[in-house]
Amino acid sequence: MRKIIQFLFLVILLTNFSVIGQTPISSGLTSIFPGSLSKSREGEVYAFKDNNTREIRVRLVNDSLLLVNNLESRPRGFSVDITSFIDKYHYKWVGPFSIKLKLISTCRRDNDVNTKPIPPGKMKLKKNRYFTDYEIFPLLNGEIISFSEDYTLMKIRQFLLQWEFNSYFNIGDKVGPIMLARLEIGIYDFSEKYFYQFCDRKERNLTFKFINSNTAQISNVCYNKDGSVNDKYSFVDTYLIKPKKNWDYKITKLISTTRSDSEKAEVYSPLDLRKIKSCGNIFPLLKNKTVDIITLDHRLLQIGEFTFFYKGVLESIFINAKFENDKQ
């Protein structure tokens, strides 16, 4: 009964919060290269959401104007407690994969610009506690933000934003089945078809997938310039995991790895384009690490500074709600 109540509560939340206004996006990003953002490409949007209070969109309005919005799709008067804001910036290209911002204006109500933003996946709602504008997202005057090799990811400090054409923002009532499996709803179990991916360059194509309820794998496929697979930096790490509260998991033990080298090495941050010299540059071996599965619909997974996006089969939460009612 407790799990059914939890599930129905999530149905209500998703019905009210997760249907995001869809913005028509062009079919590719080839024209996003410096100096070639044509009028047909104006309006490109990158999105990040890990909480109903943090729903960030970054919009390239034209070849020099950029907007950062939080909760732009919420109806007016939705709640005085939910923080929304718009920051307006001038931007210029400073490299093939980076732009520099200069603040033009902001409508934020808070004044404490030194407040550090809450890291991705760490916004836990607390009773009688509301987040400030700067806890939600930083002000970016003078900052340089980066793009991935294919321009489908944008990095702003510790935040990874996904090009909205591919974004979980545009999927309506669909949810990741892992949520249903955790709630023991319906007939779903942990399956290899349920997986999350992080890809920011040809050498780093990471996949996180559940083997069963207490085993997970993190794998990488490294590609050469000609498209062939580089076995030296391709690997599969298998771990024991343990469910925690708030949908998270804890990696408790490394079962096996196929890495060609296992020595410690500097982990290159997302969108870092330095030359790969070790498997450790791509992703670390994990031990006693928390895996945060974030957002109510289980479409985002955070491991350290890496944000994995759900790429598996999605299910309609409303169909499953009916299934639960039929069982009663």
What's the confidence (pLDDT) of residue 29? 40
What's the confidence (pLDDT) of residue 112? 72
Within its chain, how far is the Cα of 194 from the centroid? 16
The pLDDT > 90 percentage for the chain reads 32
What's the confidence (pLDDT) of residue 53? 82
Given pLDDT bands bounded at 50, 70 and 90, which one contains residue 9?
Answer: very low
Neighbours of 96 (CB within 10 A): 11
SS3 of residue 233 by DSSP: helix
Whether the pLDDT of residue 315 is over 70: the answer is: no
pLDDT: which is higher, 274 or 170: 274
Mean pLDDT across the chain: 75
SS3 of residue 243 by DSSP: strand
Whether the pLDDT of residue 54 is over 80: the answer is: yes
The average pLDDT across 270-275 equals 92
pLDDT: which is higher, 173 or 308: 308
| Dihedral sign of CA atoms 109, 115, 119, 121 in order | negative
- Model confidence pLDDT, tens digit, residues 58-114: 999 988 999 999 976 555 555 544 678 899 999 999 988 899 999 999 988 777 777
Most confidently predicted of 2-11, 21-30, 85-94, 208-217: 85-94
What's the confidence (pLDDT) of residue 92? 93
Given pLDDT bands bounded at 50, 70 and 90, which one contains residue 302?
Answer: confident
The Cα–Cα gap between 293 and 193 comes to 17
What's the confidence (pLDDT) of residue 27? 30
The encoded tokens of residue 71 equal: 């909760």
Q: Are 209 and 194 in contact (CB under 8 A)?
A: yes
Whether the pLDDT of residue 320 is over 50: the answer is: no
Whether the pLDDT of residue 156 is over 90: the answer is: yes
The average pLDDT across 138-152 equals 91
* DSSP summary character for residue 323: H
Q: Which range is least confidently modeled, 34-38, 230-234, 315-319?
A: 34-38
Whether the pLDDT of residue 26 is over 70: the answer is: no
Given pLDDT bands bounded at 50, 70 and 90, which one contains residue 325?
Answer: very low
What's the confidence (pLDDT) of residue 20? 31
Q: Which range is least confidently modeled, 9-18, 39-48, 123-132, 163-172?
A: 9-18
Whether the pLDDT of residue 173 is over 60: the answer is: no
- Model confidence pLDDT, tens digit, residues 190-244: 566 678 899 999 999 999 988 877 888 999 999 998 989 999 999 999 999 888 7
Q: Maximum CA pair distance of the chain?
A: 60
The Cα–Cα gap between 238 and 256 comes to 5
pLDDT: which is higher, 87 or 6: 87
Whether the pLDDT of residue 267 is over 60: the answer is: yes
The Cα–Cα gap between 328 and 319 comes to 15
What's the confidence (pLDDT) of residue 15? 39
Given pLDDT bands bounded at 50, 70 and 90, which one contains residue 309?
Answer: confident
Residues 6+ apart with CB under 8 A from 77: none
Residues 6+ apart with CB under 8 A from 248: 290, 291, 292, 293
